[in-house]
Amino acid sequence: MVVSGIRANGFQVTDVRVDGAALIALAEFPEPSPRGIAGVIARLVNSGELAAGTRLPTVRELASELGVSPATVSQAWQALSRTGLIESRGRAGSFVRPLSPGWLAPRMRGMAAPNDPVRLDLSRGTPDPLLLPALGPALSRVSARAETGSYQAEPVIPALAAVLEASWPSEAESIMVVDGALDAISRTLEQLVRFGDRVVVESPGFPPFLDLLEVLGAEPVPVRLDEHGMVPEALARALLRRPVAVLLQPRAQNPTGASMNAERAVALARVIRSAPDVNDLVVVEDDHSGLISTEGDVSLGGALPGRVVHVRSFSKSHGPDLRIAALGGPRDLVERVVARRMLGPGWTSRMVQTILLDLLTEGTSIDAVAEARRQYYTRQRALGDALRARGVAVAPADGINLWMPVLSERSALVQLAAAGVRVAAGTPFLAASDVAEAANGARTRAGGDFVRVTVGMLRDGTDEIADALASAAHHVAAGGY
Decide if pLDDT at 366 tops 90: yes
The pLDDT confidence band at residue 101, using thresholds 50, 70 and 90, is low
Q: Flag whether 126 is in a domain.
A: yes
Last residue of a domain, one of 75, 96, 117: 96
Q: Flag whether 139 is in a domain.
A: no
Q: Flag whether 460 is in a domain.
A: yes
Average pLDDT over residues 339-359: 90
The DSSP symbol for 26 reads -
Last residue of a domain, one of 364, 391, 406: 364
Cα 410 to Cα 204: distance, rounded to the nearest angstrom: 18
What's the domain count of the chain?
3
Do 65 and 118 sit in the same domain of this protein?
Answer: no
DSSP H or E stretch at residue 415: helix 409-418
Cα atoms in the 13 Å half-sphere on the side-chain side of 219: 9
pLDDT at 23 (0 to 100): 42
Decide if pLDDT at 99 tops 70: no
Q: Flag whether 147 is in a domain.
A: no
Decide if pLDDT at 447 tops 50: no
The DSSP symbol for 21 reads E
Cα 267 to Cα 126: distance, rounded to the nearest angstrom: 31
**408: amino acid identity, one letter:** S
Please, what is the Cα angle at 292 between 351 and 183, to 5 degrees? 50
pLDDT at 35 (0 to 100): 76
Average pLDDT over residues 82-96: 79
Q: Flag whether 345 is in a domain.
A: yes
Q: Which backbone phi and psi does 445 adopt, to 5 degrees?
A: -60, -30
Decide if pLDDT at 277 tops 60: yes
**Cβ pair 475, 411 in contact under 8 A:** yes
201 alpha-carbon distance from chain centroid = 14
Residue 320 CB neighbour total at 10 angstroms: 15
Do 331 and 405 sit in the same domain of this protein?
Answer: no
The pLDDT tens digits of the residues spanning 40-88 come to: 888 788 777 888 888 888 888 888 888 889 988 888 888 787 667 888 8
Cα 119 to Cα 156: distance, rounded to the nearest angstrom: 42
The pLDDT confidence band at residue 150, using thresholds 50, 70 and 90, is low
| Residue 226 buriedness (CB in 10 A; 0-12 / 13-18 / 19+) | middle
Q: Which backbone phi and psi does 404 adopt, to 5 degrees?
A: -105, 125
Do 343 and 389 sit in the same domain of this protein?
Answer: no
Do 170 and 208 sit in the same domain of this protein?
Answer: yes
329: domain CATH number is 3.40.640.10
Strand partners, 452: 403, 424
Q: Flag whether 464 is in a domain.
A: yes
Decide if pLDDT at 441 tops 60: no
Do 236 and 311 sit in the same domain of this protein?
Answer: yes
Looking at 87-91, 369-373, 389-393, which range is the least confident one? 87-91
The pLDDT confidence band at residue 16, using thresholds 50, 70 and 90, is very low
Cα 429 to Cα 235: distance, rounded to the nearest angstrom: 18
Do 351 and 266 sit in the same domain of this protein?
Answer: yes
The pLDDT tens digits of the residues spanning 313-338 come to: 999 999 999 999 999 999 999 999 99
Do 160 and 37 sit in the same domain of this protein?
Answer: no
Looking at 237-241, 409-413, 442-446, 466-470, which range is the least confident one? 442-446
Do 240 and 326 sit in the same domain of this protein?
Answer: yes
- Between 152 and 383, whose confidence is greater? 383
Do 395 and 251 sit in the same domain of this protein?
Answer: no
Q: What separation, in Å, do the N-terminal and C-terminal C-alpha atoms of the chain show?
A: 25
pTM of the model: 0.77
pLDDT at 146 (0 to 100): 57
Decide if pLDDT at 394 tops 90: yes
Last residue of a domain, one of 336, 364, 392: 364
Maximum CA extent, the chain: 77
pLDDT at 49 (0 to 100): 80
Decide if pLDDT at 236 tops 60: yes
Looking at 59-68, 134-143, 363-372, 472-481, which range is the least confident one? 472-481
**236: amino acid identity, one letter:** A
pLDDT at 104 (0 to 100): 62
Q: Flag whether 58 is in a domain.
A: yes
Instruction: Work out the percent of the chain whose per-residue pLDDT is above 70.
Output: 83
Instruction: Work out the percent of the chain whose per-residue pLDDT is above 90.
Output: 58
Do 159 and 300 sit in the same domain of this protein?
Answer: yes
pLDDT at 13 (0 to 100): 41
Range of the domain at 425: 106-130+368-473
**420: amino acid identity, one letter:** G
385: domain CATH number is 3.90.1150.10
Q: Flag whether 140 is in a domain.
A: no
Do 175 and 277 sit in the same domain of this protein?
Answer: yes
pLDDT at 27 (0 to 100): 32
Do 184 and 320 sit in the same domain of this protein?
Answer: yes
**Cβ pair 24, 13 in contact under 8 A:** yes
- Look at phi and psi of residue 480 and say left if phi exceeds 0, alpha if psi is from -120 to 50, else beta: left
